[in-house]
Chain A
Amino acid sequence: MTIAVARDVDQAPATPLIEVRGLVKHFYAPGGRIVHAVEDVDLTIGRGRIVGLVGESGSGKTTVGRTLLRLIEPTGGRMSFDGTDVFALSAREMRQWRRRMQIIFQDPFSSLNPRLTIRAIIAEALDTRGYAKGRARLDRTVELLELVGLSADHASRYPHEFSGGQRQRIGIARALAVEPDFIVADEPVSALDVSIQAQVLNLMEDLRRRLGLTMLFISHDLSVIAYACDEIVVMYLGRVMERGSSRDVRIAPLHPYSQALIAAAPVPDPSRRRVHVPLGGDIPSPIAPPSGCVFRTRCPKALPACAETVPPLTDVGQGRFVACLRVGAGGVSL
């Protein structure tokens, strides 16, 4: 038995695994008012790629991740997963698809059932896959634990006997049990101390290489995203502001919001200490987002025209997309 066939990333077909177009998710606040959690989000994730979703609290990152897996139902938009329109599937068809898409949660303390042993937690996930009971299942459990750097002796213990980093490894093993193609990792290292965070980030990179996993990696920590991801998608108040290769977005952000976010991220080096505050005010309520560009109320470069039209996410070349009236072709700031 093997863990999943390692796919050769270089020879992957050109079609991306995930294509999301015009994703919308509204919630309803008391009084029937609409919460614009996600508005018109486009997302493309190539096979074997890790795409990072970054943005302030409330920008809609978790909502995007959960709607993609249909853990919550989208309000609108389309998602093609390996050529299939996932949002059009019936509940029964969806059950078949579910195992191909898994989620890893932020909180390693509450995402594992405290009354089950690690073996039982993983067995529960293996049930979905229809693994036989007995020997084969046990072998597979041990194999999964070893894959995430734990050992067979851990199988009979309970979650409370593990440290935060170990619990997150168990969460990852559980997600991998069904051999998914796609994983949404929602703040997978945010609850962990840095020394443990590094262990888990290394593990995730290792698994990506060995299993060819495709991943949407959600985090509010820009240095984690910039390190762990191939591409970065910057969200603000439910919309994508900018998207591009990790390196480009980090080194030369084009959207004023990405620029502010990167300038605000503290760097562990006092000689690179920032001199001024890059961005004032708070994120507005998604119940009454500003007209036009949602960022304009905090944008240091806003023009009167920014209040009138929603800037489309525009291809500025080299895999870079920016939603800003002031950023023209080739990424030139107007």
Chain B
Amino acid sequence: MTPAAAPSASSQPDVLPEGILLRVDGLKTHFGTGNRTAKAVDGVTFSLPRGRTVAVVGESGSGKSVTSLSIMGLIAPPGRIAGGRILHRDREGRVRDLARLTNADFRHIRGPEIAMIFQEPMTSLNPLMTVGEQIGEMIALHERISRGDLRRRVVELLKKVEIPAAESRADDYPHQMSGGMRQRAMIAMALACTPQLLIADEPTTALDVTIQAQILELMRRLQADMGMSMLFITHNLGVVAEIAHEVVVMYAGRVVEQAPAETLFGRPSHPYTRALLASTPDPDRDIAADGSRRPLAAIPGFVPSITNLPPGCAFAPRCPLAAQACRESPPELTTVAPGHVARCIRMEAA
């Protein structure tokens, strides 16, 4: 049994509802060819409303980074966008499909329209240049500006991300900064061209909780003050609850659920989302009054290999609700409530 063939993506007009900055629609990003094809992203669909923070959550290898690199046009061979669209509305209100943009076009997108903080901060900061020089370079790439003004802008940005003694810190090399300071510098660099959309890939994962709390607070404030949209990638459900207005849950290269944060945590629909929440230790829930531990609701088995995905729902082999139909063809994303979608045919069975 195969699902009805979707109309070819290019035949659809590039339209975006008002208030939506970015819509990823049926995105497929594959690596390699033939029967060794790694379907890292295989049908990712979600919308990012203007001025909101959408968190993408999923376990290691679920395709979070590949999704964000696809949006940024940074997929290099043997990787390729094998299908779907990435509709983006720019400052002028023009809607374009980023999946079909040339590298030259992307120069006007990266920086002023969409900026990204990468998962490995040390690889994206140049160890041989001061932090101030690197931020300045980013600004100078997109506008003509005098040296004096450039310096002022750099210091202003460092102050904006609450780096103390910003004037002298601008002359620090990355290794002279603590992890938390470096992450602030990375945020300053991403904000250098006041982007409409900030993609942050695990920006706090390498940090201690106390520093993480500072950075989350900063990002939340900047997002609100600048009216920016944010795509925040993390595997930590606690961080999601701290930062997100809406949540996208990924599993094995697909989106299984998108919902407003309160709904996702309060009334999750997809069995995977529910299982993820249940398996995260919560002492208030998991320790009985007599102090004994209740076993955590672990998800049996493990994530399938993306070179050998099951024909149906990728979660079916681990799902307590799976029925025969789940193993035959992948379910479609269906609407649970306005603004809430899930990819499951057995939701009512719970």
Contact = CB atoms under 8 A, between A and B. Distances in A.
B13 interface: no
A225 B237 CA distance: 17
Given A223-B282, A268-B277, A271-B262, A56 B210 contact: yes
B302 A265 contact: no
B283 A223 contact: yes
A199 B295 CA distance: 9
B302 A268 contact: no
Nearest to A166: B302
Contacts of A276: 217
Interface string B176-211: 001011000000000000000000000000001111
A282 interface: yes
Given A195-B275, A196-B302, A268-B237, A223 B281 contact: yes
A277 interface: yes
A202 B237 contact: no
A246 B291 CA distance: 9
B242 A261 contact: no
Contacts of A56: 208-210
A205 B276 contact: no
B279 A266 contact: no
A263 B244 CA distance: 19
Given A222-B209, A247-B283, A282-B178, 18 more contacts: A163-B302, A194-B237, A197-B279, A199-B300, A201-B296, A202-B295, A230-B291, A246-B283, A246-B287, A264-B213, A265-B238, A266-B216, A268-B237, A268-B265, A271-B262, A280-B214, A282-B180, A282-B181
Interface string B226-262: 0000000001111111101000000000000000011
A276 B287 CA distance: 28
In this complex, the interface size class of chain B, counting residues with CB under 8 Å from chain A, is 35 or more
Nearest to A250: B283
A155 interface: no
A260 interface: yes
A220 interface: yes
Contacts of A224: 281
B59 A193 contact: yes
B213 A274 contact: yes
Interface in A188-216: 193-199, 201-202, 205
Contact of B241 (A193, A226, A250, A266): A266
Contacts of A299: none
Given A227-B287, A250-B283, A282-B178, A202 B238 contact: no
A226 B76 CA distance: 43
Q: Interface extent on A, as a size class?
A: 35 or more
Nearest to A247: B291
Interface string A253-266: 00000001101111
Contacts of B178: 282
Given A224-B281, A278-B213, A282-B211, A270 B296 contact: no
Q: Among the interface residues B60, B240, B279, B282, which one has the most CB atoms of the partner chain A within 10 A?
A: B279
B299 interface: yes
Contacts of B237: 194, 268
A269 interface: yes
B293 interface: yes
A128 interface: no
B241 A227 contact: no
A194 B180 contact: no
Nearest to A50: B293
5 contacts: A228-B293, A261-B209, A266-B242, A273-B241, A278-B213
A205 B293 contact: yes
B208 A220 contact: yes
A15 B297 CA distance: 35
B119 interface: no
Nearest to B244: A270
A261 B298 CA distance: 26
Contacts of A196: 298, 302
A74 interface: no
B210 A268 contact: no
A159 B298 CA distance: 23
A199 B181 contact: no
Interface in B265-301: 265-266, 275-277, 279-283, 286-287, 291, 293, 295-300
A29 to B, nearest CB: 15
Contacts of A246: 283, 287
Nearest to A226: B283
Interface in A114-160: none
B130 interface: no
Given A193-B60, A198-B296, A264 B291 contact: no
A277 B236 CA distance: 19
8 tightest A-B CB contacts, nearest first: A266-B238, A198-B298, A195-B299, A227-B281, A198-B279, A198-B296, A268-B237, A193-B59
A227 B286 contact: yes
A267 B238 contact: yes
- Residue in A205, A250, A269 with the greatest tally of chain B CB atoms within 10 Å: A269
B223 interface: no
Contacts of A272: 241
A114 B269 CA distance: 41
